[in-house]
Structure 1
Amino acid sequence: MIRLDNISKQNGHHLLFVEASAALQRGEKIGLVGPNGAGKTTLFRMIKGEEPPDEGQVSVDRGVTIGYFSQDVGEMAGRSAASEVMDGAGPVSAVAAELAELEHALADPDRADEMEAIIERYGEVQHRFQELDGYALEARAREVLAGLGFSEEMIDGDVGALSGGWKMRVALARILLMRPDVMLLDEPSNHLDLESLIWLEQFLKGYEGALLMTSHDRAFMNRIVGKVIEIDGGSLTTYAGDYEFYEAQRALAEKQQQAQFERQQAMLAKEIKFIERFKARASHAAQVQSRVKKLDKIEKVEPPRRRQTVLFDFPTAPRSGEDVVSLKKVHKGYGSKRIYDGFDFVVRRRERWCVMGVNGAGKSTLLKLVAGTTAPDDGSVVVGGSVKMGYFAQHAMDLLDGDRTVFQTLEDSFPQAGQGSLRTLAGCFGFSGDDVEKRCRVLSGGEKARLVMALMLYDPPNFLVLDEPTNHLDIATKEMLIAALSNYEGTMLFVSHDRHFLAALSNRVLELTPDGVHQYGGGYTEYVARTGQEAPGLRT
């Protein structure tokens, strides 16, 4: 359906692709992977025809419809979420618009002399609308929006009143409703809660078209794709298998290439040593010349291109008391909505609680109560002795001074630390070389999240309160964070929609449901095994 033949593409001085080739066949579901800046979004834009390759060819079979979801959703306002979604549903939305115009014309007395032609055209358009299942369009639009977490009120309300994250969901819903022959999805799992993520997973599994997508959620990617295309060093490499298979194959290929490289280096060193030793001896001249010619003809094996991953080594946090935080008979509401009504909860040292619940259940409210950024209406929240808390929330990223650089921000927070120590810290969180001189105002969401995390973890707290810490983070940074937190000896209370993160780090689950609060010993994996569901909102 789609072929990339020997494409080359340069962005400024940055070479993105060099004679790279790949193909997307009918019905295939492919994950597109590669480090940040490798050219994933550029590849989507070339397939969509929004940007040409410098060399080579991008071919799309005639008549193939393509739906492209990107993080840049544009302006939305003045219509309901349902109307916005239906308007982007491809050919059926154009037919619906013409049908509405014809209905208006039928009721217009000034066009009585055209009525016969209008009625004839109306019949044709109505037939086409039925063929495209147009009369079920609104029901399908509402079903998709509900699956992505929209309430009835939000579906019918002005889309302009929604936050950026919810507008992203509207843009995604447009593509899903369109059901094109090919979907190009650039980070569709961003901004989704766990229930919506699992719904989208099921939708894409049942989708019969071809899919090419990026995602920072490895569990989501792993369950959907059956093939992976990797962008690395300007080339496209295709792996037949899911994400886990790709990771294993890539590691194996790296290991084999490293071994091959080392063998060749040893052989070259031996040959060069012989040449150096005997080049001045006339008796060995023929042998020396023969070996020099042999070396000239050898195709050099390159060492594997290593992804730069620096592990963050947690300094030891001071020990806290046994009772880290205690909530007793806590009442909390916003307006007429009651969130907590006589809530009791205790976190003890070295427990790692993940908090689960649907949107509005009170997950972030609980973390704010514990962190002291909001007060209970009644009851008490008591933080235990010797507790040093680190609180990560999305709004923390907005508090960074836009005029300060990454390095200046670290220096401001830790004036006693040496430059080498702060550069190592910056490197662990993905800021290497000139990246430390970037001003905070130009940082991406992921870069801001990494900087806030670095500020929080350098002088380690013994109690981490984390509200969606993996939002905006790529897979490599998440792996680094999981590795670091696995060795962390303090206490954790956190909210996340990343199932890999939940499974790797939790040893307790607090589930907030309309039926009440449930506590589970054992982590997320045990919770799934006991309840039979991956999220509270999926309970039947």
Structure 2
Amino acid sequence: MLLALQDVTFEFGARIIVEDASWHIVPGDRVGLIGLNGTGKSTLLRIINGEYSVSKGSVNKIRNLSLGFFNQDLLSFETDDSILSVGMTAFDKALALEKDIERITHELEHNQTEALLHEFSDKLHEFEALDGYNMRHKTAQVLEGLGFSTADLERPYSEFSGGWRMRVLLAKLILQQPDVLMLDEPTNHLDLPSIEWLERYLQSYNGAVIIVSHDRFFLDRMVNKIVELYQQQLHHYAGNYEDYEREKEMRRELQQRSYENQQEYIRQQERFIERFKAKASKAAQAQSAMKRLEKLDRLEQVDGGPSKIRINFTVDKQPGKILCTLNDVSKHFGDITVLDHTGVEVNRGDKIALIGANGKGKSTLLRMIAGTEPMEGERIPGHNVVQSFYAQHQLESLHLDSEILEELKNTSSGRTEMELRSLLGCFLFTGDDVYKKIRILSGGEKARVALAKTIISQANFMLLDEPTNHLDMNSVQMLIDALNKYEGSFLLVSHDRYFVSGTANKIWEIVDGKIKEFKGTYAEYEDWKKRQAAAAAPPKPPKGERGKNRGNNNNNNTPEPTAVKEIPAASAPVKGTPINKEAQKELQKHQRQFQQLEGELARLKEKKQQLEASLGNPDIYGDKGKFQQIEAEYKQVTQDLEKANKQYEEVFEKIMELEG
């Protein structure tokens, strides 16, 4: 066990966040921490992080436990250093050693004492043990995995926007490899390729991971446990979010049946008491029944779960068959080409999701179709098209002096106040919140008001740019249900794969300046992409040939593929260059050694995976001796793997040298 909350109670003033809550975290845990907005999920992470002290109970951690906490507060960090330098601060010990080694090197130029040479040797050994020689490469690899280009790495951190800064700080936290990694809404600042990279990384992460996220697809792929913060209690579920929903429904049904059975029992006892309390022969029994009811631990009625609000779209006009056409359009921003002589057509009934990495021009294309973005080429609007455009940067369309409810009434949607209040409840505006002035709302709250206005408009064509930002999972599901009933057409940009999966019947992607269209759902699109990748992959070499990954080292947490090199047979020197007999013998010796190392690496990797699986088994921690034995074996096999990888690289380089 890494960490345990035992009977913890924590209050903010008079408000109780958790009461008598317990939670044990072990290696290998991938936990999704969920709950309605405002229940205190982020506060709970801060309790674990040691920022808040509990009023009751205890938070117990193993000695030297390292914690990493990714959250919005990190944005207060400022520096003009390059993002590569910021990421590399994760290796603080190795960086300090690097400075020491540099200092000693200068001293050795003038004073080669035995003590100084010993210190130099010790520092080099420690630097190598910390994998200091690879820290720049690792940092660059993680930053590029999170969406930065190689050219970006030397740019100052201060030049980047808030979302890109969060990626840098996430990279730093990942590189620190804490025992417990806590991520508060990590996908908010990531595009689809970066989210997929983060998923691959976290799936092989050695420590425990706790994730707070409204990205249901991300939770379904990432977690093996769900902890729900509900009514000041922590409720534990095995499996991912889909498993949680299924099990919670079963628990709710069982609890409801228990409640109903108890209510029936109470009614029977009350009838018995009422009937016989005045009868002398039955008075004692009636008294006993009253005492039983007084002592009864009353069950609470099960809540019905999140309210199901039905939003019925009304379409004012029926449009023509074609809503919009772009012919031979191009778009440039200076030297950057976003679209290059491409075209596309939106038809009636289309439910299109425009996906892909940031910076590819998705929002630009959305504005071009809306007719608000200048471009080269031709835009042909369709007949009877009434469009409504939602984008966060267009919040200036809101009337700042209006109240929220008033703002929706002014859309002339013909809905009653009760219907509008119900809709606003889906967007997290409840009670007197609906009377707040738009002027005092936060950016996220204004975005939710603008989205509510968009979906109750009578438009027959909606353009939605990241509509699920600032929504919780229940609100996202509500929006999915609403869009599925919508009789019009829409084009949306989103990185929320669950949302896209539940709404789109076509997928668009911008590739090399061209708009590529896939007719089908997101699940079908993913399957197609996998088949395309498999078809494009090079065939596996015959048994006698060896193509090996030179970048493969002991850090199996970095899933990025590296270049594959072929090791030619000794009898076939490269480019026909003659090799003398001595060199030929040495080459053959190294190739035999290379083969042996391949087998050794495979054996060590398999053993390491088996030990990792054992360490992820909670039963192991009940037997201290067995745990210590497995932990020692794990450390040893990690060292052996590091050593074998180093030899592998050295032999490979030698073979290349002899064959070159």
Q: Same fold (TM over 0.5)?
A: yes
Q: Which amino acid aligns with 1:271?
A: Q
Residue equivalent to 2:524: 526
* Matching of residue 82 in structure 1 with residue 70 in structure 2: no
In 2, the alpha carbon distance for the partners of 1:235 and 1:392 equals: 38
Shift of 1:291: 2.3
Is contact 1:159–1:167 with CA below 8 Å preserved after alignment? yes
Larger Rg over CA atoms: 2
In 2, the alpha carbon distance for the partners of 1:515 and 1:391 equals: 24
* Matching of residue 406 in structure 1 with residue 404 in structure 2: yes
Residue equivalent to 1:21: 22
In 1, the alpha carbon distance for the partners of 2:240 and 2:357 equals: 29
The Cα offsets for residues 367-402 of structure 1, whole Å up to 9 and x where unpaired, read as: 0111222122x2222322222212111213466566
CA distance change for structure 1 residues 315 and 517 in 2, over 3 Å: closer, same or farther?
closer
Q: Which amino acid aligns with 2:359?
A: G
Q: Which amino acid aligns with 2:389?
A: Y
Q: In the TM superposition, what are the counterparts of 1:3-14 in structure 2 within 5 Å?
A: 3-14=4-15
Identify the range of structure 1 (71-80 vs 112-121) with the bigger mean alpha-carbon deviation: 112-121
Is contact 2:313–2:487 with CA below 8 Å preserved after alignment? no
Task: Return the match for 1:481 from 479, 493, 510.
Answer: 479
Q: SS of the residue aligned with 2:227?
A: strand
In 1, the alpha carbon distance for the partners of 2:258 and 2:234 equals: 22
Residue equivalent to 1:338: 337
In 2, the alpha carbon distance for the partners of 1:23 and 1:445 equals: 37
Identify the range of structure 1 (321-330 vs 402-411) with the bigger mean alpha-carbon deviation: 402-411
Identify the range of structure 1 (176-185 vs 397-406) with the bigger mean alpha-carbon deviation: 397-406
The Cα offsets for residues 471-499 of structure 1, whole Å up to 9 and x where unpaired, read as: 23221111111111111111011111111
* Matching of residue 395 in structure 1 with residue 410 in structure 2: no
In 2, the alpha carbon distance for the partners of 1:9 and 1:445 equals: 30
The Cα offsets for residues 85-133 of structure 1, whole Å up to 9 and x where unpaired, read as: 111x1xx323313532662575489x97999876654443332221110
Shift of 1:36: 1.3
Residue equivalent to 2:69: 68
Q: Which amino acid aligns with 1:29?
A: R
Higher RCO structure, 1 or 2 (CA under 8 Å, sep 6+): 1
CA distance change for structure 1 residues 388 and 234 in 2, over 3 Å: closer, same or farther?
same
Which runs of 5 or more residues in structure 1 are unaligned? none
Residue equivalent to 1:352: 351
Is contact 1:80–1:155 with CA below 8 Å preserved after alignment? yes
* Matching of residue 371 in structure 1 with residue 370 in structure 2: yes
Q: SS of the residue aligned with 2:73?
A: coil
Task: Return the match for 1:432 from 430, 433, 443.
Answer: 430
Shift of 1:12: 2.2
Shift of 1:60: 0.9
The Cα offsets for residues 269-306 of structure 1, whole Å up to 9 and x where unpaired, read as: 33324433454455543343232222112211112244
Shift of 1:180: 1.6
In 2, the alpha carbon distance for the partners of 1:534 and 1:303 equals: 52
Is contact 2:309–2:422 with CA below 8 Å preserved after alignment? no
Shift of 1:218: 1.2
* Matching of residue 32 in structure 1 with residue 30 in structure 2: no
The Cα offsets for residues 401-451 of structure 1, whole Å up to 9 and x where unpaired, read as: 666553354355559865434322312322111332445466555533322
Which runs of 5 or more residues in structure 2 are unaligned? 539-660
Q: SS of the residue aligned with 2:339?
A: strand
The Cα offsets for residues 128-184 of structure 1, whole Å up to 9 and x where unpaired, read as: 221110110010000001100101222211111111111111111011111122211
CA distance change for structure 1 residues 310 and 421 in 2, over 3 Å: closer, same or farther?
same
Q: SS of the residue aligned with 1:95?
A: helix
CA distance change for structure 1 residues 345 and 254 in 2, over 3 Å: closer, same or farther?
same
Residue equivalent to 2:543: none
Shift of 1:14: 1.6
Residue equivalent to 1:295: 293
Residue equivalent to 2:128: 130
Task: Return the match for 2:187 from 186, 189, 193.
Answer: 189
Q: SS of the residue aligned with 1:519?
A: strand
Q: Which amino acid aligns with 1:189?
A: T
> How many residues matched?
533
Q: TM-score, normalised by structure 2?
A: 0.75
Identical amino acids, percent of aligned pairs: 38
Q: Which amino acid aligns with 2:77?
A: E
Is contact 1:482–1:505 with CA below 8 Å preserved after alignment? yes
CA distance change for structure 1 residues 33 and 163 in 2, over 3 Å: closer, same or farther?
same
Is contact 2:70–2:183 with CA below 8 Å preserved after alignment? yes
In 1, the alpha carbon distance for the partners of 2:262 and 2:60 equals: 40
Shift of 1:513: 0.8
In 2, the alpha carbon distance for the partners of 1:443 and 1:539 equals: 51
Task: Return the match for 2:218 from 217, 220, 225.
Answer: 220
CA distance change for structure 1 residues 46 and 455 in 2, over 3 Å: closer, same or farther?
same
Residue equivalent to 1:253: 251
Identify the range of structure 1 (420-429 vs 66-75) with the bigger mean alpha-carbon deviation: 420-429
Is contact 1:403–1:439 with CA below 8 Å preserved after alignment? yes
Cα RMSD for the two superposed structures: 2.8
Residue equivalent to 1:236: 234
* Matching of residue 324 in structure 1 with residue 323 in structure 2: yes
Q: TM-score, normalised by structure 1?
A: 0.91
Residue equivalent to 1:200: 198
Q: Which amino acid aligns with 1:324?
A: L
Q: Which amino acid aligns with 1:24?
A: I
Q: SS of the residue aligned with 2:289?
A: helix
In 2, the alpha carbon distance for the partners of 1:78 and 1:515 equals: 33
Residue equivalent to 2:617: none
Residue equivalent to 2:158: 160
Identify the range of structure 1 (359-368 vs 508-517) with the bigger mean alpha-carbon deviation: 508-517
Q: SS of the residue aligned with 1:532?
A: helix
